[in-house]
A and B are shown apart, each in its own frame.
Chain A
Amino acid sequence: MKSIIKFTTAIALLTLLFSFTSTAEKKVKCLIQMDNYTGEGAYIIVSLINPQGKYEQTVYVHGKDDEWYHELTNWWKFYGKKKTRLDGITGSTIAGGERAMSVFKIDASKIGKGYKLRFESAVEAKNYHCPDVEFALTTANLQKKYNGKGFIRYVRLLPQ
C-alpha cells in the first residue's frame, strides 16, 4: 500500500517537474576559465539568487563528489536541507589553468526581474570564494565577460 502511495507521489512530482521545465527557458552557454592555482580541481556552483538575496535555484554544479559540497557553506545552507536533484546539471571539477564549458537553462520569466546569477568556488584544503563572480540577470548581461575574484579568472556567457 505504502509503495503505491510512494509511486504515485513520485509520478506526480515528475509531472510537476516536467511542467516546470517545459515553461519558457533561456539556454546560455557558459565558459569558465580558471586561474593558475596549484592543487586539486575546484568545485564551482552556479546559483540563481532571488531579489531578496536568497538562493532560489541551483543552475550548475562543477564537481560530482557530494562529500565535499558542505565546504561551499553558503550554498550548502540552501542545498543541504533539501538536496534537490542535480541530474543533468553537474560536470567535473576544474583544475588551475583549465577551462570548462557548459550550458545553463534559466527560467526566461526571471530575466530582468532583479534576480542575480552567482558563481562560488572552493578548492579542497584551500579557500572558499563566495561570490567569485556575481551579476544581475538581464538579457544584456548574458553575453558579457566577467572577471572573477577567486579561483575563477573569468566567465564568458553567450545566449543560445
Chain B
Amino acid sequence: MIRSYWRKAHLLLALVASLFLIVTSLTGIILSFEPVSNRLHESHIRNTEDGSLGSIIHTLEEQYLEVIELKVDENQLLTVSVIDDEGEFRTFHTNPTTGKEVQTAYDEAWLFSFSRTLHRSLFYGNTGRLIIGITAFLLFFIAISGIILVAKRQLRFRKFFSKITKDNPDSYWHIVVGRWSFPLLLIIALTGTILSLERFEFFPEETEIKHAINFDELTDHPQVEKDQFELFQSIQLQDIEWVQFPFSPDVEDYFHVRLTDREIIINQFNGSIISEKEIDPSQQFQTLVFNLHTGKTSWIWSFILGLASLSILFFMFTGIRIFLKRRKRKTGGQNIYSRDECTVIILVGSEGGKTSLRAKSAFDQLVRQNVKVYIDELNNYQRYACMEHLLIFTSTYGDGQAPSNAYLFPQKLATIHQPLDFTYSVVGFGSIDYPQFCQFAKDVDELLLSQAKKTIDIATINKQSSEDVNLWGKAWSNAMNLSPLLFDQTPPKTEKEETFLFYVTGTTAEKKSPESSFQLTLTSPDTSYQAGDLLVIQPKSDERERYYSIGKNHAGDLFLSVKLHEHGMCSNYLNSLASGDVLNAHIQENKDFHLPEKASKIICIANGTGIAPFIGMAFENEQKKRLDLYWGGRSQDDLNNYLNEIEHAQSIGQLASFQFALSRETTHDYRYVQDLIELNKNSIAQSLSDGAVLMICGSIAMRNDVLKLLRSICSTNLSKRLEDFEMNGQIRVDCY
C-alpha cells in the first residue's frame, strides 16, 4: 500500500521533528514581527524620499566634520560613523532624511534576541544549530510527503487544487491549508537547512575581492563635489551594504562601496571608477537565502513567513487529532484475558457494527469491574474452559436470518460441549418495522435453553433504543450481582469519522436496463481493505445502510460489482456516479471471508455480482495458491464485464482455473453454477478432504442449492457431514 507508506512517513517525520518544530514555529512567528518593528524604526532606509547615496552623503557632510563609514545592516537600518564637530568619533543609527542621530536607542527587543537564539540554536551552540538544521531538513520531507499525499488523495497532480470533499474537519483543513502553504514551507525548510549548513562551513568561505589599483594613474582632476558624483546619484540605499569613506585627502585614498552584488572603488576627487568587481554568486545566493528565510528586506514577506510558521502549528494540532482518531478506530474492545481464563463470554452477531458497539461497551464496563470477560463473534463459538455465563448480543439479518458473523453458531452449539455448567442471557437487536423482529436472537435463546439456564429473559432492543438497552443492563447486572451497566443515551452510530472518501476511478454504469449489473472501481487514500471485506454505503442519512462485497482489480483499486435494481436507492445512486466523483462509505472488516492463509487450495463459488470478492482474492493471491473459480451468470454480456480482470489474473498465474455457467445463453452447455459443482464433484470432494477452503458468495438461493449439493457430495464421496467442514472453517459463506 504505497499510500499508507507515504502517510506513515509523513507522520513519523512529523513526530520526530515535532518538539523542535513547535519551538521553531513559535519563535518564527515572533521573529516575523521583527522586520515590521524595524520598518517603524526611524533609521530604516525607507524613511526617506530620495534614497540615493549622493543625497545622504550631502546631508551627512553638511553636519559632521568627517564621515568615516556608512552601513545598512541586515535589519535595513542605517548606521554611520562620523567625527562630529567636537572631533569625537561616534557611531550611531541615523535618520536617512535628516542625517541626525536617532536618539531612540535601537535596543534590540529582548524578545527578538531571545527568540532568535532559540530559533537558531536552542541556546545550545553548534549542537543546537545541528538539531535545528536537521529539523529544517525533516520539515522539507514532511512537506514533500504531504504534497504526495494530497496528490494521491486528489488522484493526480493536476487535480491538486480541485475541490476537496469535506469528510472530517481536521483532515479537510489540514489539506486546505497544506496545499496553499506548502510552497512557503518548502522555502522555509530549504533556506533554513542551507543557513545551518553555512554555519558548518559547508559552503566555501567568501573569497576576498582583490581590487587591482594602479596608484600611478590616480589623479585628483577634475574635482567634483562628492555628492554630485554620477555614480552616487544612481546608487540607492537599499542596494548598499556599506560605504567606506577615504581615510585622508590623499589621492591614494578612495571610496570603497560594497553593494549587494558588487564592490566598487571610487576616486574621491572625480568620482571615476577605479575598480569594480562582482561579488561571488555563491555569496549573493547566501544573501538571498538569508533574506528569504528572515524576510528582513520586506516586512510583507516576513508577515507571510509568519503565517507559514503559524500553519506549522496548525498542522501539528490537526495532524495529531487525525492520528488519534485513526488510532481510536483501531483499538477498543480488545481482549485482555485469554479465552480459557474468562468466566463471562460475550458473543456478538452483528452486521452493521452497531450491535458490536453495544457489546464492546458492555465488555469495557465489565473489564473495569474486574470481571474476567472475553469477547468474540458468534461464529467463533467454541469450548471455554472457565465459562460460567454466556452473554449474547445479536442482531438479525434480513428475513429472520443470522448475521454473517453468527450463522455458524447454531451448528457449533449443537456439537460443542462446555466443560462447566453455565448460565446465559441473550440481547436481541432489531427493528419492529420488520416482521421477523429479533428472530435470530429468539432462535438462539431457544437453542441455548437445551444446554443451560437463563439468567434473565431475552431482551429485544428496538432500533438501538438506549432505554431498552439500559433496562436490560440493570436487570442483567442485578441478576449477576454486578454494578449496573450503563449505555450511552444516544444510540451508537457508525460514526461519521469512520467513513472515508472513495474516488471513482472507473465505471461501466451506462446501462439502464434493470437487473443488469455494472462495475465501479474506487480508490481511497485513507483506508485499507482486503477482498471480502464489506463496503458500507448509506446513500442518504436516514436510509438503511447497504453492504457490498469488496473486490480488487488488477491495479489494486477497490472493485465493486453492483446489481441495478429498478427502484433500488443505493444501486441507482452508485449507477449515477461518474469517474472522478466522490463517495462516502466505510469499510467493515469481514475477516472470515478473506483469502484463506492456510488453505491447501481455494475453491470459489459465486453467482452474479458475488464474483467481485473472488476476483479481488485472485489479485491478492501473490503466493499463487491453487484458486479455482466457478461462476454462474446470466448472459455473455454479464460475463464480459469480468473477463478482462479474470484473464489478467490467469495470465499472472494467480487464478488457476475459471469455469462459468450462463443461464440465458442456450448455446452454452451449463446453465447454473450448481451444474459446474455437480460436474466437478469428485475433485471438489477430494480437495475438501485434502484441506481446501471452499468459499461461496452470491445469492441465498444459490447458497442453499450449493450447500445441499455439497452435503450430498460429502456424504457419498467422503462419508462425512458438511457441518464438520463448516465448523473447521473449510466452508465459508457470504451471501445476501
Contacts and interface: CB of A to CB of B under 8 A. Distances in A.
A84 interface: no
Given A97-B208, A101-B68, A103-B88, A160 B83 contact: yes
Contacts of B244: 99
Contact of A103 (B69, B83, B248): B83
B69 A101 contact: yes
A14 B571 CA distance: 98
A36 B208 contact: yes
Contact of A102 (B66, B89, B205, B248): B89
B414 to A, nearest CB: 87
Interface in B52-90: 66, 68-69, 81, 83, 87-89
Interface in A5-43: 27, 29, 31, 36, 38
27 contacts: A27-B87, A29-B66, A29-B83, A29-B89, A29-B247, A31-B247, A36-B208, A38-B205, A91-B91, A97-B208, A99-B244, A101-B68, A101-B69, A101-B81, A101-B89, A101-B247, A102-B89, A103-B83, A103-B87, A103-B88, A103-B89, A156-B247, A156-B248, A158-B247, A158-B248, A160-B83, A160-B87
Contacts of A36: 208
A31 B208 CA distance: 19
Interface string B610-643: 0000000000000000000000000000000000
Contacts of A91: 91
Given A103-B88, A160-B83, 19 more contacts: A27-B87, A29-B66, A29-B83, A29-B247, A31-B247, A38-B205, A91-B91, A99-B244, A101-B68, A101-B69, A101-B81, A101-B89, A102-B89, A103-B87, A103-B89, A156-B247, A158-B247, A158-B248, A160-B87
B125 to A, nearest CB: 13
Contacts of A27: 87
A82 B640 CA distance: 101
Nearest to A25: B87
* List of 7 A-B pairs having minimum Cβ-Cβ separation, nearest first: A103-B89, A101-B68, A97-B208, A31-B247, A36-B208, A27-B87, A158-B248
> Most A CB atoms within 10 A — which of B68, B87, B89, B208?
B89
A53 to B, nearest CB: 28
A103 B89 CA distance: 5
A141 to B, nearest CB: 16
B616 to A, nearest CB: 65
Nearest to A33: B247
B101 to A, nearest CB: 15
A19 to B, nearest CB: 18
Interface of A: 27, 29, 31, 36, 38, 91, 97, 99, 101-103, 156, 158, 160
A97 B283 CA distance: 15
B581 to A, nearest CB: 63
Nearest to B66: A29
Contacts of B66: 29
Contacts of B91: 91
Contacts of A101: 68-69, 81, 89, 247
B484 to A, nearest CB: 71
A60 to B, nearest CB: 9
Contacts of A99: 244
Nearest to B69: A101
Nearest to B248: A158
Q: Which of A38, A97, A103 has most B Cβ within 10 Å?
A: A103
Interface in B581-632: none
A100 to B, nearest CB: 8
A98 to B, nearest CB: 10
Nearest to B207: A36
A156 B247 CA distance: 9
Contacts of B87: 27, 103, 160
Nearest to B83: A103
Nearest to B81: A101
Contacts of A160: 83, 87
A97 B209 CA distance: 9
B504 to A, nearest CB: 62
Contacts of B88: 103
A73 B68 CA distance: 31
A158 B247 CA distance: 8
A116 B510 CA distance: 103
Name which of A91, A101, A158 has the most chain B CB atoms within 10 A of its CB.
A101
A102 B248 CA distance: 13
Most buried by A among B69, B91, B247: B247
Contacts of A156: 247-248
Contacts of A102: 89
A143 B419 CA distance: 113
A30 to B, nearest CB: 9
A27 B69 CA distance: 18
B130 to A, nearest CB: 18
A156 B66 CA distance: 17
A158 B91 CA distance: 19
A38 B83 CA distance: 30
B80 to A, nearest CB: 12
Contacts of B83: 29, 103, 160
Contacts of B205: 38
A52 B45 CA distance: 51
Nearest to A158: B248
A144 B582 CA distance: 84
A156 B205 CA distance: 27
A111 B232 CA distance: 40
Contacts of A38: 205
A57 to B, nearest CB: 17
A153 to B, nearest CB: 11
A129 to B, nearest CB: 20
Interface in B83-109: 83, 87-89, 91
Nearest to A38: B205
A31 B81 CA distance: 13
Nearest to A91: B91
A97 B208 CA distance: 7
A27 B247 CA distance: 15
A160 to B, nearest CB: 6
Nearest to A92: B91
Nearest to A156: B247
Nearest to A31: B247
B23 to A, nearest CB: 26
Contacts of B68: 101
Interface in B243-257: 244, 247-248
A36 B89 CA distance: 26
A158 B81 CA distance: 16
A104 to B, nearest CB: 8
A112 to B, nearest CB: 21
Contacts of B89: 29, 101-103
B516 to A, nearest CB: 80
Nearest to B88: A103
A38 B88 CA distance: 32
Contacts of A97: 208
A103 B83 CA distance: 8
A123 to B, nearest CB: 15
Nearest to A96: B208
A54 B81 CA distance: 32
A160 B66 CA distance: 11
A27 B83 CA distance: 11
A27 B87 CA distance: 8
A125 B248 CA distance: 35
A36 B66 CA distance: 28
